[in-house]
Structure 1
Amino acid sequence: MLQVSSTDLAGGRFNGHAIGPRLTQRGIQSRMLVWNRQSQDATVRAFLPLRGARRMNAWLGRMERARSIHARLQYQSFLLAAHPWFREADVVHYHLIHDGWFSLDALPFLTRRKPSLWTWHDPWIMTGHCIYPLGCGRWRTGCGACPDLTLPFAMRRDRTADQHRWKQGVVGRSRVEVILASRHMQAMAEASPIARGLSTHLLPFGVDLDFFTPGDVAAARARLGIRPDRVVIGFRGAAENMFKGGDLVIEALRGLPAELAEKLCLLSTHAHGQTLPFVDRHQVVELGWNTDPLLVRDSLLAADFFVMPSRAEAFGMMAIEAMACGKPVIVTDGTSLPEVTQAPEIGIAVPAGDVPALTAAILRLIQNPYERAARGAAGRALAEARYGEAGFADGLATLYRGAVVRRGAAP
């Protein structure tokens, strides 16, 4: 089994890296080829670790941006077929291959050589250029006349219709089965002309329920330096990533009553500096970007609840991890998050972009410890029922073995 992705540790909880030991327990040897190797794991190798390869790839990226195209010129991806691990694999599973190192034109060539699966971690493959369409429906009819070329991956001029046609052709020529983690993404695929005729499988990601589990809150807070008398609001920062809604959390926090001063702790990850306006009113703890699983777990254990008002989301791994730790989650409509958190029964969903509604939901959980406890316990039960890593590994093993059988039976 070969996993192919851009990195190993960043996104490792869903890109095929962390699940490797579970697959080994099921009789499947999993190895990984990545463009940027971050770990020293012996089962991971850097694809094309040649001197000058990164410089050449950066030059190709500049060429693409000048031509308003994306994921087309990196022809080194054809060389994957020559790698010993590719040749030895029974199945190849593609993950994040659209972030600037892989040409999709290689996909038909590669997928004809090995039984192949491809997890769509976001809707980019279904659009003319953007990672998330944010309410625009032109992806359903071929794009063109794009209302916002600045969304990632940005274009200088509108070639969205051309990119959409090109993607449809590439996917149509590829022999690949697609894995989708949510019904939200499944519904998009069913409406997409690019995905028409593809074999798709619904398989939610899983988390390690023995690791992400309700634990010693006081100890986690002590390790992070959080005062024991505070109600702790956890959230993901990263204002530069508009899709995650960190800026909406900041605006919502501004609307909290003044009498809550000195009673809250704002605990953020993935960014520094966003909570500085609140240092005179609340305790502020900013953990920034990190890949340390112990720190990720501590940040969830220490929180009384987790706020995740994403403008767009294909699944929502942090919401699942928070629920697994017994924490209630506030999410936004129009994404996968109400589905995966089973709002309104377990998660709390507010309208996308509605800052007053988000403020009200945050205030509600601040003021209702019994509701926090009830929703947290229900979230843990949901994680155990639907989102265990063992069940995810079982699903992958079934798909991998089935892909080999189906390829052998195909004409």
Structure 2
Amino acid sequence: MNSVLLNSWTTNVKKLRIRAKGGRPGEEKMRVLHVFETLPGGPATYLNEVVPHQIAKYGAKNVRVLVPDAHLSHVQNIPSSCIITFKRQGRYKSLPALARAVMAEVKSFRPDVVHAHSTFAGAVTRAIGALSRRFPPIIYCAHGWSFDMETLGPLRLVARWGERLLAPFCQKIVAISQHEYDRGVEIGISPSRMVVIENGLSRKNPVAVPAEWKDPITKVLFVGRLDRQKGVDILLKSAATLEGRASFKVIGATVTTKSEQNAVSFVPDNVELLGWKSPMEIAGYLAACDVVVMPSRWEGFGLVALEAMRAKKPVIASAVGGLRQIVRHGQTGFLFPSGDSVALAEAILGQDAAGWRDMGLAGYRRFHARYQSDRMNDELIALYDEVLRKETAGERVLV
């Protein structure tokens, strides 16, 4: 590790915190570097909820975000001065560029905390940190364990061992759901290394672009990638049995592999594929639908469920991962066995319009009580404080 990098960071640690000029007496600031290898989906939503809050708290000069240049369009409401990019040319080919960018930013920005997001950013950052005990303390968030991905096949075992071996080279692992925490413990990660900080969303809905959807039958909305994980094939099987009784709109795009594209090769007449939509357009369809469906085969958390609850819509979800904690069966929606298209169809027919409205209101109350981003952001700030306090007291443990 470059000696200049180490010496500059050591000086930064000894100062404990950077105090902003003009701040209130006793107000402390810290520098945070966020590292993302990919953004589409949950990571982008997380970034856009967390980083603006930290900029407001610490100041724009004290927060930086390292993201792939190809994914800049997913960054919202963050000053360009806070954003650093690296060139992304495919996932694996881009890892050396990501590593160089991380080392350069640690050297020049001298963060107090490095917050790495998702599998590859977490692996690269922790590998760099493992080279020296004087690297800034690392917080890692998997945003859904890679070893839960069925599509990895035999590589799931490799992913499990990778996460277990790398776990000691960060100060804390943020689990976005109790499910993710439990899975980490199952593979051998120390419970003391992990903390549950559930995802959250701003209480404000995006300004909606009105959507035309006036079917007199049950209106069902799906939002997500059209791939095996999100279970779009299960949705289409159910829809085919509900023609004349339910209308479906699908927001999302197909993946590139031929096997996944075959999952949407047959689209029933009561299903409309809309492609990707903006947050404002999605808000319009959420306002117009009766119920949101999430037939995922695996899910670390499930942010679409929170978007639905915030919009006062009930959720029908497969009983997997973090969705089991979010959806209250029979109260805010329904849970059904993963992969069971018949059970999904039965759930869609389980309520009339008034019943869906009542469930949606129950979900809205649950969202406000548990899943607002203010709570998530406060818990992250408290975690940063705890990690840095232990770091400066010489309590770092890397074994």
Counterpart residue number, 1:169: 165
Greater displacement, 295-304 / 270-279: 270-279
Question: Any idea what the Cα deviations from partners look like across 1:73-132, whole Å, max 9, x if unmatched?
Answer: 7475155122267633221111024289947633423784112211121112xxxxx442
SS in 1 for 2:350: helix
Q: Is the 8 A contact 2:118 2:144 kept in 1?
A: no
SS in 2 for 1:221: coil
Counterpart residue number, 1:38: 72
Q: Is the 8 A contact 1:3 1:92 kept in 2?
A: yes
Counterpart residue number, 2:19: none
How far does residue 192 in structure 1 lie from its aligned partner after superposition?
1.6
How does 1:5-84 map onto structure 2 within 5 Å?
A: 5-8=36-39, 10-11=41-42, 13-27=44-58, 29-36=62-69, 37-39=71-73, 41-49=79-87, 54=88, 60=93, 74=96, 77=99, 79-83=101-105
Higher helix share: 2
Q: Is the 8 A contact 2:119 2:145 kept in 1?
A: no
| Correspondent of 1:246 among 232, 240, 248 | 232
Asked if residue 392 in structure 1 is aligned to residue 376 in structure 2, the reply is: yes
Counterparts in 2 of 1:275 and 1:85: CA distance versus 1, 3 Å: farther
Counterpart residue number, 1:266: 248
Q: Is the 8 A contact 1:323 1:379 kept in 2?
A: yes
Counterpart residue number, 2:220: 233
Hey, what's the Cα distance between the residues in 2 that align with 1:2 and 1:238? 29
Counterparts in 2 of 1:270 and 1:161: CA distance versus 1, 3 Å: closer
| Correspondent of 2:128 among 91, 106, 114 | 106
Counterpart residue number, 1:319: 305
Hey, what's the Cα distance between the residues in 1 that align with 2:127 and 2:97? 8
Counterparts in 2 of 1:410 and 1:306: CA distance versus 1, 3 Å: same
Hey, what's the Cα distance between the residues in 1 that align with 2:38 and 2:92? 20
Counterparts in 2 of 1:331 and 1:74: CA distance versus 1, 3 Å: same
Q: Which runs of 5+ in 2 are unaligned?
A: 1-31, 255-260
Asked if residue 206 in structure 1 is aligned to residue 200 in structure 2, the reply is: yes
How far does residue 390 in structure 1 lie from its aligned partner after superposition?
1.5
Let me know the Cα RMSD of the aligned residues.
3.2
Counterpart residue number, 2:185: 190
Greater displacement, 245-254 / 265-274: 265-274
How far does residue 388 in structure 1 lie from its aligned partner after superposition?
0.8
Counterparts in 2 of 1:356 and 1:345: CA distance versus 1, 3 Å: same
How far does residue 26 in structure 1 lie from its aligned partner after superposition?
3.0
Question: Any idea what the Cα deviations from partners look like across 1:340-388, whole Å, max 9, x if unmatched?
Answer: 12224322101111111111001123xx112101100000000000111
SS in 2 for 1:232: strand
Q: Is the 8 A contact 2:248 2:272 kept in 1?
A: yes
Question: Any idea what the Cα deviations from partners look like across 1:10-33, whole Å, max 9, x if unmatched?
Answer: 545544233222223333643200
Q: Is the 8 A contact 2:138 2:170 kept in 1?
A: yes
Q: Is the 8 A contact 1:305 1:327 kept in 2?
A: yes
What amino acid is the match of 1:209? R
Counterpart residue number, 2:112: 90
Asked if residue 402 in structure 1 is aligned to residue 386 in structure 2, the reply is: yes
SS in 1 for 2:364: helix
Counterpart residue number, 2:334: 348
Hey, what's the Cα distance between the residues in 2 that align with 1:111 and 1:75? 23
Counterpart residue number, 1:132: 149
How far does residue 43 in structure 1 lie from its aligned partner after superposition?
4.3
What amino acid is the match of 1:248? I
Question: Any idea what the Cα deviations from partners look like across 1:189-234, whole Å, max 9, x if unmatched?
Answer: 22122x136521111111111125xx98xx7223xxx336453210
Q: Is the 8 A contact 2:218 2:353 kept in 1?
A: no
Counterparts in 2 of 1:5 and 1:306: CA distance versus 1, 3 Å: same
Hey, what's the Cα distance between the residues in 2 that align with 1:202 and 1:362? 32
What amino acid is the match of 1:3? H
Hey, what's the Cα distance between the residues in 1 that align with 2:172 and 2:201? 23
Asked if residue 293 in structure 1 is aligned to residue 301 in structure 2, the reply is: no
Q: Which runs of 5+ in 1 are unaligned?
A: 62-72, 125-129, 134-150
Counterparts in 2 of 1:27 and 1:12: CA distance versus 1, 3 Å: same
Aligned residues: 349
